[in-house]
Structure 1
């Protein structure tokens, strides 16, 4: 989002964030250890560049939020105050939604787990194909291989009551759109099914 960093993930199970180094006039990589149990399928930067958050999805069925704070670009970790998770160094996993029966990994004390995952219904085993932040960064949506849509929200990413109302309205609208899409798919499937002959 700041146009000075780029994230890459793939079959290596690790995320690499590269940043432009004007002194060397090239992109320098900064890799974190393998954070997923399988290939990374999707990455999404938080819409607020000052938050330094990156959401990742994988064929292991997990969605994770990690710190993408690169001190060479973003300054000291302590100066990063936009993140609802507090200051965290690069690669720190701040939140993880893991499939059952695999338990979610232990989170660092700095995390505080501000996400409310009560809306996620059942945790998914299938691959996660895409992940996206809501426009104001107050939540995450992701889609799994079994055609299910999941969400997690956090009130900590909104800074005022007005923004909280807007975020709630946007979340309700997104939920209504998802329900309408699911209903439309069901109607299309019913219309496509052959009629039974008595």
Structure 2
């Protein structure tokens, strides 16, 4: 919801003189729905807002739809990959579309257990071969992690009334037409609601 509130504010207020930077729009929902939201938002920025935009995404399929948008140009960050699967960012931005993601390599570099990396690689290979979303019954579970105890089920805490009211009030604000002092007051109210919410957990 927070991402969508921010996205709505951008799409409703950006002008041809704006600079818009958006990263990973639509990643908080299902793949197809998220990709649809990302594509629709990009089309709106292109056709309606007509502003200069940096739009970063991992939806590779999205790049295939961009021929319909004549003012869009695709660029990618350059990466040096070794035969061992390691890679280094070269800090160069080049024209073109990257057809590879490096999430599993980054996960290994971050220290995820080898068993998790192996499951991820096997699952990725299975998905790429099928070229369709993973069904729950198809999840790969190798023997080496079968003895790991499952994480306890945790329920998302419900927002208390003060937090909910603060968020609703903020979502209704016309931030382009309030004074700095009013913005300070809204931020203080939200901070107090968050503090109370966290202290009660």
TM-based fold match above 0.5: no
Greater share of residues in helix:
2
Greater share of residues in strand:
1
Where relative contact order (Cα < 8 A, 6+ residues apart) is larger, the structure is: 1
* TM-score normalised to structure 1 length: 0.23
Q: Which has the larger radius of gyration?
A: 2
* TM-score normalised to structure 2 length: 0.23
